[in-house]
Amino acid sequence: MMSLAVTARDWLLVRYSWLRDRFKREPTNAAKRVLVNEILSIQVLSAALFGGLAVASLYWGGQWVLQDNYGRWALQWTEELNELGSPLYLSDDEEARIRLESFVERYPEIDRVSYFSKDGIALFSVDNRDELEPVQDLTVNKLDDAVAVIGERRPYVMNSGVLNPRQFEIIAPVWTESIVDDGLFDFDAVALESETKTELLGFVGIHLDFVIFHDRLLANIKGAILILLVLLIAFAAYGRRALQRALSSISDLQEPIRELAKGNLGVKFEPAEHREISDIVEALETTASALSERDAKLLEMANHDSLTGLFNRRRFTEELKKEIISVMRKGHTSALLFVDLDQFKYINDACGHPAGDRLIRKVADELDRSVRRDDVVARFGGDEFAILVRHTDVHGATSSAETILSNMRRMAHIEDERVFHVHCSIGMAMITGDNLHYDEVINQADIACRESKSAGRNRLSLFEYAADGKEKDTADVGWMNRLRKAVDNDEFELRFQPINRIHTGETTHHEVLIRLRGDDNNVVSPDAFLPSAMRFGLMTEIDFWMIENAAKAHSEFSVPARNLRFSINLSANAFENDDLVAHIEACFERHNVEPKDIIFEITESLAIRHPVHVERQIAALRDMGCRLALDDFGTGYSSFSYLQKLQFDYIKIDGTFVEDLVNNPVDQKMIKLIAEIGAEAGMETIAEYVQDAESLALLEELGVDLAQGFFVGRPSKTPTHKSTPISLDSRRMRAPTFPHTS
């Protein structure tokens, strides 16, 4: 899980690094072209280009129109002045000359009217301006061109200046036509036309200059061009402003996109007015939102356990490091609790891994509810959890651990009609100024947790320094030697605790308990030495010692007047020995014990696993005549389905359900359910740890058959038949004696 989360986080970092590197590889902002400026420049240049073309077209088009009009006017005037040629053939006609001068003065566009001889020699001219240069003779080319038009449809030659198209020069030949023979008496039109005589008299030249009209019209054109230029500039300015406004939304995206590339997914985008830019903004916002959600998921994956939602090991280690720094700076103490579920693998064996996952989630919720708000709960993996208890001392941390143990004992999980009760072992390590390395603290809590498991599970152990390590090793070696010596020298002792029927108060049988006499002559309880015996592989020998000495005690204390029956606990180690059944048969035969007087108690964890060799040995014990009891029912992974399959005679309800029975409705319902199912399956139920009459009376109401505990009777060196006081109502409603208790 952690490697997957780290991989996801590294992918994000690589993505953002790639984006940053891409921006770095590109030219700097100063060297880049700005899109808005480039578009505006193109717009302005396009406007200038098209404006210039329009102005040039207007100017040159106006010039062409002017020139064409000038030519038309010149021709019109020329055709209207037929009398211009009069001075060439009426040399004394002063009146024609005066009319000519009057005509020239009336049109200021006419600069000069000149006359030439038929040889092209300038004769005289009528000028309209004083500053004109003298008239020059016609050149040979002009003379030839003028002669060539004699008799043509357009009897004149008109030239205009290339550099100054407003000036025109018109040369028209003046000639006479006469008939050679008038044909008065013999008229022939065709012959007459062919015999016409043409006589060239000279040439008339007209020089036109439309400067006044041209300058006035050109001034108007220039004004129009100026207005056009102003309009173009205004259009360019307006277009620039409009374009800037239209493209401002693109410019506004520059900084947010840069921030987005840096990994800042909280960037805000300005809303756009245009649909295209709005679509881009929406796409970017969707991308940022998707990346943000992906970041949140990746962060969740990197910091949390996917199954339970608790912190994972990596994130818990970070929190632990921060707390260690806080302890170092502020001087307070905190605690680390390492929680390991007891025998969790059995639920996977019985119901499969999905059921185990569901139970793990339920355990995680229970742990989270059992701690303070500021404390940190994490799943280390599998069935291991870690809890950081902030700002607390040993007593506060111990109280928190005891709360967890108590809540876990009361938690029940139902899976496929099976009821599972989860216990846990807790190791605690204090975080002080002496241990300021997180690995060391975790290791200490883990060691303490293993000590809890070795001491019998379902308890709390506090890690202690020392000397502690060497002292513990020495103590373990001491226990091993002491137990070895006790087995070899027969130094264990037996105690007998009565089990009474609740309805009658009579003793039905005794549970055989083991004790060890200490060096100080004090009696050592099994909780102190059995964990060491399990670690050093001595449990099978102790089980065999128990069977042998219980059979001997039965033979010793049995009397004909009172039937004596014993209940003997067997560990899982005993069933791993193939000689178990043979050893029991030999002991019973040696001490003359009836198998029907012996009940063997098997732990629930062993029953649910029921390997083939265990089932075979249990069947052999039943065939022998022994009876079976399911011990500590409800403490592990209770399954009502296997009760009838293994054919137990008794169900022993674990004492954790009985200790606070009067005040705990959940325990009451659980015990009532077990009693009802046991009755349906033909089994009797036994309640352990009965401490007072009130609990005993409530157990009777709940349907429990038998009771065991200090209120019923304490363990003693000899089996005693002591009746339990019962209420008057119980005496009135006394049920018949159970068939197999006699």
What is the mean predicted confidence (pLDDT) over 179-183?
62
Residue 9 pLDDT exceeds 80: no
Residue 343 pLDDT exceeds 80: no
What is the mean predicted confidence (pLDDT) over 616-634?
87
Q: What is the pLDDT of residue 191?
A: 54
What is the mean predicted confidence (pLDDT) over 330-356?
82
Residue 543 pLDDT exceeds 60: yes
Give the separation between CA 121 and CA 131, rounded to whole angstroms: 22
Q: Select from 674, 669, 618 the least CA-distant residue to 645.
A: 618
Q: How far is CA 357 from the centre of its chain?
A: 24
Cβ 488 vs Cβ 697: under 8 Å: no
DSSP label at residue 662: G
Which of the pair, 729 or 155, is modelled with greater confidence? 155
Residue 661 pLDDT exceeds 50: yes
What angle (nearest 5°) sits at the alpha carbon of residue 166, between those of residues 164 and 171?
A: 95
CA-to-CA dists, residue 713 to 263, 701, 707, angstroms: 73, 21, 10
Name the pLDDT band for 292 (thresholds 50, 70, 90).
confident
231-288 pLDDT per residue, tens: 878 877 777 777 777 677 677 777 777 777 766 766 776 776 667 667 777 777 777 7
Q: What is the pLDDT of residue 7?
A: 46
Q: Which stretches within 500-568 are classed as H helix?
A: 526-535, 539-557
- CATH code of the domain occupying 304-465: 3.30.70.270
Choice among 41-55, 389-403, 645-659, 666-680 with the minimum mean pLDDT: 41-55
Q: Which two tokens stand for residue 621?
A: 């014990």
Choice among 101-115, 174-188, 578-592, 678-692 with the minimum mean pLDDT: 174-188
Q: What is the dihedral of CA 668, 673, 678, 680, to 10 degrees?
A: 140
474-724: what fold? TIM Barrel (3.20.20)
Name the pLDDT band for 389 (thresholds 50, 70, 90).
very high
In the chain, the percentage of residues whose pLDDT exceeds 90 is 23
Domain locations in the chain as residue ranges: 1-80+212-303, 86-209, 304-465, 474-724
pTM of the predicted structure, to 2 decimals = 0.46
Q: Which two tokens stand for residue 678?
A: 């046991």
Q: Select from 642, 645, 568 the least CA-distant residue to 605.
A: 642
86-209: what fold? Beta-Lactamase (3.30.450)
Cβ 316 vs Cβ 380: under 8 Å: yes
CA-to-CA dists, residue 516 to 472, 491, 524, 613, 714, angstroms: 20, 7, 5, 31, 17
Name the pLDDT band for 711 (thresholds 50, 70, 90).
very high
Q: Which residue has tokens 């029907």?
A: 596
Give the separation between CA 201 and CA 673, rounded to whole angstroms: 153
- C-beta atoms surrounding 599 within 10 Å: 23
Q: What is the pLDDT of residue 591?
A: 93
Give the separation between CA 584 and CA 567, rounded to whole angstroms: 14
Name the pLDDT band for 740 (thresholds 50, 70, 90).
very low
720 burial type by CB count under 10 A (0-12 exposed, 13-18 middle, 19+ buried): middle
What is the mean predicted confidence (pLDDT) over 87-116?
74
Fill in the amino acid letter for 435: N
Cβ 384 vs Cβ 318: under 8 Å: no
404-455 pLDDT per residue, tens: 998 888 887 777 767 777 788 999 999 987 777 888 888 889 888 888 887 7
Can you say whether the dihedral through the CA atoms of 592, 596, 597, 602 is positive or negative? positive
Name the pLDDT band for 128 (thresholds 50, 70, 90).
confident
Q: What is the dihedral of CA 34, 40, 44, 49, to 10 degrees?
A: 70
Q: Select from 102, 123, 124, 116 the least CA-distant residue to 171.
A: 116
Choice among 344-353, 438-447, 622-631 with the minimum mean pLDDT: 344-353
Which of the pair, 693 or 344, is modelled with greater confidence? 693
194-216 pLDDT per residue, tens: 567 788 888 888 888 777 776 77
Q: Tell me what the pLDDT averaged over the chain comes to.
A: 78
Q: What is the pLDDT of residue 426?
A: 94
Cβ 317 vs Cβ 364: under 8 Å: no
